[in-house]
Amino acid sequence: MNDSKRFGLNPIWQARVNRFKKNRLGVVALIAFCFIFVICMGANFIANDKPLIVSYDGELYFPIVKAYPETTFGGVFETEADYKDPAVKQLINEAGFMLMPPIEFADQTPSVEIAMPYPAPPNASNWLGTDDTGRDVLARILYGLRVSLLFGLALTLAGSFIGIVIGAIQGYFGGWLDLIGQRLMEVWAGLPQLFMIIILVSLFSPSVWVLFGLMLLFGWMSLVGLVRAEFLRARNFDYVRAARNLGVSDSRIMLRHILPNALASSLSQLPFILTANIIALTSLDFLGYGLPPGSPSLGELMTQGKNNLDAPWLALSAFFSLTIVLSLLIFIGEALRDAFDPRR
């Protein structure tokens, strides 16, 4: 049984998958990006100031997913146990053990054990050093990448959905609806988007949802032109006319007969849109108009690097982290674009 039958793929999609597989750089980039994505999604289990497992008095506890008071381990306080406190460590080690993550710092955990001024250079405890408030840089990068990837993916999917819907309506119905829509888009696209977002963000209190909504307000136009062109081209095909003459509804024709072809060309653009959204979020964070203060962010880490030129590990760590992720996305996008090229 061939791959197309095994996985339920039609021959056209199977040919696209095979063309993507032949692009070794794209395949390696996809594997590397998935690895980074999984690592970032599991940042809580890799970089945390709480143990993965605590064995105390014959019982197993999982502080990384549940908070336990200090009295659970023989302490005197009813508040959550501080597992980096020497007294708490001694209590646990006397009646069991605890298994810490590879990086014993969360994104907000200060490194109070090193006898160096902040920001501290890379050392045995902080592999990439600390920032200007003593927080571990590697932990901040892992959590910051997770925020950037999740925020960028959500923004890409939401913006692409809106763009596909608007492009499909304009392209299929055409006429005055298409003309008015194009003129409105030309005006909207002509606005200085970054400056408009900065102005609007400054009017509200810092919030992830407000920032997401404002960026979505300007980030939905990427696929409109591409989808509109596909629908304009396909609406006059013979099979579309035949379906219309048989009384098939417009919505069914758009969804079942034209949209799959439009999606094929749109999928190759998603990595580039995701790249642009991550860059936009990083830029806003760098300028101080992005995520709420204190949130782990590559842009905020770059700002610290600018303010602490004698601590180059801050800017270099953020720069190389961002460069690697964006380069992988570009390689994936190029491979997808070649795979979905209709001329091949």
pLDDT value at 243 more than 60: yes
Tokens, residue 93: 């080690």
Q: What is the pLDDT, as a whole number, of residue 154?
A: 95
pLDDT in tens, 72-94: 888 888 888 888 888 889 999 98
* Of 96, 25, 1, nearest in space to 339 by CA: 25
pLDDT in tens, 103-142: 999 988 888 777 778 888 998 888 999 988 889 999 999 9
Q: What is the pLDDT, as a whole number, of residue 142?
A: 94
* Of 167, 146, 163, nearest in space to 298 by CA: 146
pLDDT in tens, 285-315: 999 898 888 889 999 999 999 999 889 999 9
Instruction: Give the count of beta carbons closer than 10 Å to the beta carbon of residue 18.
Output: 12
Q: What is the pLDDT, as a whole number, of residue 4?
A: 47
Q: What is the pLDDT, as a whole number, of residue 245?
A: 84
Give 55's pLDDT tier (boundaries 50, 70, 90): very high
Burial tier of 172 (Cβ tally within 10 Å: 0-12, 13-18, 19+):
buried
Residue 56 to residue 62: CA distance in whole angstroms: 11
pLDDT in tens, 131-190: 888 899 999 999 999 999 999 999 999 999 999 999 999 998 888 988 998 999 888 888
Q: What is the pLDDT, as a whole number, of residue 343?
A: 64
Domains of the chain by residue range: 3-41+139-339, 50-100
Residue 268 to residue 256: CA distance in whole angstroms: 20
322: CB partners within 8 A, 6+ apart: 278, 282, 298
* Of 243, 97, 262, 252, nearest in space to 171 by CA: 262
Q: What is the pLDDT, as a whole number, of residue 344?
A: 60
Class of domain 3-41+139-339 as given by CATH: mainly alpha
Please give the model's pTM, rounded to 2 decimal places: 0.87
Let me know: does 253 contact 240? Beta carbons within 8 Å.
Answer: yes
Range scoring the smallest mean pLDDT among 258-262, 263-267, 339-343: 339-343
* Of 288, 151, 297, 277, nearest in space to 218 by CA: 277
* Of 304, 327, 293, nearest in space to 137 by CA: 304
